[in-house]
Amino acid sequence: MMNKRFVSLWFRHLLTDWLTLRRPELKPVPFVFASPVRGRVIITAANALAEAQGVAAGMTAADAKAIIVDLQVIDDIPGQADKLLKALGEWCIRYSPLIAADLPDGLLLDISGCAHLWGGEKEYLKEIVIRLRSKGYDVRGAMADTPGAAWAIARFGKVKPIIPPGEQADALIQLPPVALRLEPLVIERLQKLGFYTIKTFINMGRSVLRRRFGPELLLRLDQALGNIDEPLQLLHPVEPYAERLPCLEPIRTATGIEIAIKTLLEKLCIRLQGEGKGLRTAILKCYRVDGHVISADIGTNRASHHIGHLFKLFELKIPTLEPALGIELFTLEAPKIDDVEPEQEVLWQSESCGLDDTDLAELLDRLANKIGAGSIHRYLPQERYWPERSIKPAISINEKPQTSWRKDRPRPSILLPHPQQIEVTSPIPDYPPMLFIYKNETHHIKRSDGPERIEREWWLDEGEHRDYYQVEDQDGRRYWLFRSGHYAGSQAGQWFIHGFFA
């Protein structure tokens, strides 16, 4: 089983670094964020220049002004730290898919199995910290077997930031109790009793620690040492079926993108094939050097793990993927998975392929991903009287009809979603009109058949019945017309067109 490894990133001046990036004129100026609390203005964050002169979070703005006369006080922005950490976590997903925001000023990364892609743990952590610092953030990072130990070393460690596997206890014992992420009241009790380092109480009896300091101390200690797992609230829960492909050099060409997609599909499809499953939807995400994420998605009519077919679908999307300065991480997620129906061998191939034919399903997939899935429709019959309610859209290509299509009466090959009113000449009772006008075009009726009376479904709505006629105009084009209700003399507004025959 793979050993768990975690990285803690501590943004020492998260909010002030962010504001300095937006307002460069503040870089040489000591400033703070402050918020009113019970009638006093309390500092919530201070930049490095203000801290160097003795100003810190928790002080009143008045006291800080007494220390730094020209201190700039800026109104705090509620929720800004949370937004920043989520954005930074999105950027860091190129290093690990498992990232959690660690309010108020940090991130926690589960990097198990990731570091070797950058040449080892030292190079991996160095890459992350240098990249974040180059973006303008004062960040410290540490790596250990547990989130708690990594958190403690990032903030209070004095020597090496990478703790070798299994050595977190030795690294923690010289740190102060606050490194265990304890509540202020617990820390105050420990200090009153002279426990200034974890070493002074780590070997005490558990019952004694619980009685004096409560269960939180034991919980945090066990989490830091790895005796208890600490669940992370991930920014993006990982899809059960997903693959990642980090790039040692940014990818800028269409050929490079093609190779990345094929590599990801091979990994994912081998796994799906082994489990007897196939994907119905897949999402490709490309993380660019400039921090932007571009994506493309595909869908299939039936579950598929056919690498060649799925690549052809993605191939249609490659022209829309703009690499800009380069793509440094590709991910492929399959949020919708279905069981793959095994193909049955046949002795004789039917002359005409049906909906169960794999080639037809793959053709529909290519068309749907090229012109849009909304441009392709398949309908099934319903046992309903009203024509526009007698069909329903199929959920998938594999859905079977619950009833058969009606064949005893003529039905148009194209049915309008809603009947459209037409102008007609005064017709003879129980006969169609001599001509009708539809979309400003006059149609002289040469042949007709009908009427076929269709009663309204009175249990759903009220209204008149319809008398349908199949008519043919002077050009041989055939239409499905109806009169609403009984013959009403010269009232021509009761006639409608509802469909077109082939």
Is the pLDDT assigned to residue 499 strictly greater than 80?
yes
User: Are residues 331 and 452 both part of a single domain?
Assistant: no
- Output the average pLDDT for the chain: 87
pLDDT digits (tens, 9 = 90+) for 474-486: 999 999 999 888 8
What CATH number should be reported for the domain holding residue 19? Answer: 3.30.70.270
**Average pLDDT over every residue of 430-451:** 89
Structure tokens at 292: 């932007």
User: Residue 84 sits in which domain range?
Assistant: 1-235
Q: Which residue, 307, 339, 371, sits at the end of a domain?
A: 339
pLDDT digits (tens, 9 = 90+) for 222-240: 999 999 999 899 998 777 8
Structural domains of the chain, count: 3
Do 465 and 382 contact (CB within 8 A), yes or no?
Answer: no
User: Are residues 223 and 294 both part of a single domain?
Assistant: no
User: Are residues 69 and 100 both part of a single domain?
Assistant: yes
How open is the CA angle 112-118-121, to the nearest 5 degrees? 55
Q: Is residue 376 part of a domain?
A: no
Task: Read off the pTM.
Answer: 0.64
**Average pLDDT over every residue of 195-221:** 93
**DSSP calls for 183-235:** -HHHHHHHHHTT--SGGGTTTS-HHHHHHHH-HHHHHHHHHHHTSS-----BS
Q: Which residue, 276, 305, 339, sits at the end of a domain?
A: 339
Q: Is residue 346 part of a domain?
A: no
**DSSP calls for 28-49:** TS-EEEEEEETTEEEEEEE-HH
- Kindly report which listed range (113-122, 309-318, 363-372, 427-436) carries the lowest average pLDDT score: 363-372
Q: Give the pLDDT confidence score for residue 415 in this predicted structure.
A: 86
Q: Which residue, 291, 315, 339, sits at the end of a domain?
A: 339
* DSSP category for residue 162: B
User: Are residues 221 and 256 both part of a single domain?
Assistant: no
Do 471 and 447 contact (CB within 8 A), yes or no?
Answer: yes
User: Are residues 246 and 231 both part of a single domain?
Assistant: no
